[in-house]
Amino acid sequence: MCGRFVSTSTSLSIADFFSLDAVEEQLLEAGPRYNVAPTALVRVVLERGESRVLTACRWGLVPS
């Protein structure tokens, strides 16, 4: 199925790499995932003003 990907990093390593100001508590223990499918919640880095935050978003496209 197209749209799948691998996420080999932990939340803490992502936070270190991007020098994040905050990580949502639910994501602190999130580890690698080797078959991320559309509609799954994935970790993303959002930049809001001067701060960067690790949060979760739903992966995929919404059909028109």
- The pLDDT tens digits for 12-60 are 899 999 999 888 887 877 888 899 988 888 999 999 888 999 999 988 8
In a domain, 64, yes or no: no
Q: Is residue 43 part of a domain?
A: yes
The number of distinct structural domains making up the chain is 1
> Does 10 reside within a domain?
yes
pLDDT on residue 29: 79
Domain hosting residue 37, numbered range? 5-58
**Taking CA 49 as the corner, what is the angle to CA 11 and CA 24, rounded to the nearest 5 degrees?**
25
Answer yes or no: pTM beyond 0.85.
Answer: no
* Domain-embedded: residue 53: yes
Contact 46, 55 (CB under 8 A): yes
Q: Tell me the three state secondary structure of residue 26.
A: helix
